[in-house]
């Protein structure tokens, strides 16, 4: 079993013993959602399914180095008549082996029993006021999410973050959300972060270049007005990245010649379908099979075929790939012959290979 993503990739490229191990696993616990976000890239996949525990056990049996718990819906909204969220998390064999992206409206009962399984939990806030939250998400759970940030921290999750997807409707609230969340950063030293994210779909909601420059200038003035806010911004956020968020990449062709990521990665949906990447799952293309009926050897062979001949530069179905840059970085690492410390490549310090935040 490998704990280093680059070494595992080298095994996969050479098809050496152990190459069928999963590098990065994304798994959907639920397709149910309690919000109506107009910019959601998974909105068309919402259903009523809850993952069969056998699907999770199968995926974990292939020793993923790192696991993202997210969903075509909200991962905490599993059907309690079938399975509890905590019982699913208890199946993860070691601490800090998974992270979760959640809309933050709920904290599962008894979460403290499995808090050590998380490397981090990130809650989608996307607003600084209830009014803007309601406008973005169709339901007002703003105060719930703010309170649940603290509840996850108090439950013992190692790191907890809030995300803010930058778009035209909430751009003006960036300075306000910084001021809102800075006290949490100081209340939980080294445990809280704020991540600004770009809008993956819905280009009509992107902010203009002029508007983004103006808000970034306001943010810099806010930073310069207070040493406390400056420390939060520099150590607990990625605020400088917001200058990059005016461009929608849904129709951009990938720059990387090879898709190494799809060899290391797999996404498993609640119904057992396996996809080589999140983009293919969103587009409902190139399903590799279903773990409830297909052998893992068959799925791995299909994954190899996709990665080596059907993905990467020149393939139109890969347009809009948000992992393209990771492939470029991986190629640079392979070409350089650098041997990275496994502590970096397990959790993605090299090139941000995995979503550390």
pLDDT in tens, 59-86: 999 999 888 998 778 999 999 888 999 9
Which DSSP helix (H) or strand (E) runs through 328? Answer: helix 324-336
- β-partners of residue 274 are 268, 289
pLDDT of residue 127: 98
pLDDT in tens, 150-205: 999 999 999 999 999 999 999 999 999 999 999 999 999 999 999 999 877 666 78
The model carries a pTM of 0.91
pLDDT of residue 26: 93
Nearest by Cα to 84 from 92, 76, 94: 76
Relative to beta strand 273-275, strand 289-290 is antiparallel
Return d(Cα 40, Cα 49) in angstroms, integer.
Answer: 18
Do 60 and 33 touch, CB atoms closer than 8 A? Answer: no
Residue 312 region, left (φ>0) first, then alpha (ψ -120 to 50), else beta? left
Which DSSP helix (H) or strand (E) runs through 211? Answer: helix 209-225
Nearest by Cα to 254 from 327, 351, 201: 327
pLDDT of residue 42: 61
Contacts of residue 242, defined as CB under 8 A and 6 or more positions apart, other chains included, come to 166, 174, 196, 212, 215, 216, 219
pLDDT of residue 46: 53
Q: What are phi and psi of 251, to 5 degrees?
A: -115, 10
pLDDT of residue 355: 40
Which DSSP helix (H) or strand (E) runs through 236? Answer: helix 227-236
Question: Where exactly are the structural domains of the chain?
Answer: 1-357
Total length of the chain: 357
> Taking the CB of residue 216, how many other CB atoms lie within 10 A of it?
18
pLDDT of residue 223: 97
Return d(Cα 127, Cα 129) in angstroms, integer.
Answer: 6
pLDDT of residue 313: 78
Residue whose token pair is 């993952």: 51
Do 251 and 260 touch, CB atoms closer than 8 A? Answer: no
Average pLDDT, the chain: 88
pLDDT of residue 279: 87
Nearest by Cα to 275 from 1, 57, 25, 66: 25
Return d(Cα 175, Cα 260) in angstroms, integer.
Answer: 38
Nearest by Cα to 357 from 175, 160, 174, 188: 160
> Taking the CB of residue 276, how many other CB atoms lie within 10 A of it?
28
The two tokens of residue 127 are 């607003």
Does domain 1-357 fall under CATH 3.20.20.70? My reply is: yes
Instruction: Find how far residue 45's CA is from the centre of its chain.
Output: 17
pLDDT of residue 352: 39
Long-range contacts of 323-326 (CB under 8 A, 24+ apart): 323/261, 323/265, 323/277, 323/278, 323/279, 324/254, 324/255, 324/256, 325/255, 325/256, 325/351, 326/260, 326/261, 326/351, 326/352, 326/353
Do 61 and 19 touch, CB atoms closer than 8 A? Answer: no
Residues of the chain with pLDDT under 50: 345-357
């Amino acid at each position: 079993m490998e704990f280093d993503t680059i070494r595992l990739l080298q095994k996969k490229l050479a098809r050496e013993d152990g190459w069928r191990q999963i590098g990065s696993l994304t798994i959907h616990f639920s397709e149910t959602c309690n919000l109506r976000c107009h910019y959601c890239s998974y909105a068309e996949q919402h259903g009523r399914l809850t993952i069969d525990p056998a699907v999770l056990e199968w995926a974990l049996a292939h020793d993923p180095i790192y696991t993202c718990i997210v969903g075509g819906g909200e991962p905490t909204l599993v059907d309690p008549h079938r399975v509890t969220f905590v019982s699913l998390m208890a199946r993860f064999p070691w601490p800090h082996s998974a992270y979760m992206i959640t809309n933050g409206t709920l904290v599962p009962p008894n979460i403290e029993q499995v808090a050590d399984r998380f490397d981090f939990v990130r809650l989608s806030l996307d607003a600084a006021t209830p009014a803007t939250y309601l406008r973005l998400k169709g339901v007002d759970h703003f105060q719930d999410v703010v309170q649940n940030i603290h509840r996850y921290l108090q439950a013992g999750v190692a790191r907890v973050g809030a995300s803010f997807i930058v778009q035209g409707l909430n751009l003006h609230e960036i300075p306000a959300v910084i001021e809102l969340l800075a006290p949490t950063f100081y209340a939980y030293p080294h445990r809280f972060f704020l991540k600004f994210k770009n809008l993956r779909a819905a280009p009509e909601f992107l902010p203009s270049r002029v508007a983004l420059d103006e808000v970034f200038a306001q943010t810099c003035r806010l930073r310069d007005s207070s040493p406390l806010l400056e420390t939060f911004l520099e150590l607990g956020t990625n605020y400088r990245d917001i200058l990059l968020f005016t461009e929608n990449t849904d129709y951009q062709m990938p720059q990387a010649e090879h898709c190494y990521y799809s060899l290391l990665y797999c996404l498993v949906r609640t119904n057992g379908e396996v996809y080589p990447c999140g983009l293919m799952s969103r587009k409902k293309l190139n399903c590799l099979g279903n773990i409830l009926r297909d052998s893992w050897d068959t799925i791995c062979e299909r994954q190899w075929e996709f990665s080596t001949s059907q993905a990467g530069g020149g393939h139109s179905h890969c347009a809009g790939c948000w992992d393209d840059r990771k492939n470029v970085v991986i190629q640079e690492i392979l070409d350089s012959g650098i041997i990275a410390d496994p502590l970096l490549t397990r959790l993605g310090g090299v090139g941000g290979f995995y979503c550390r935040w």
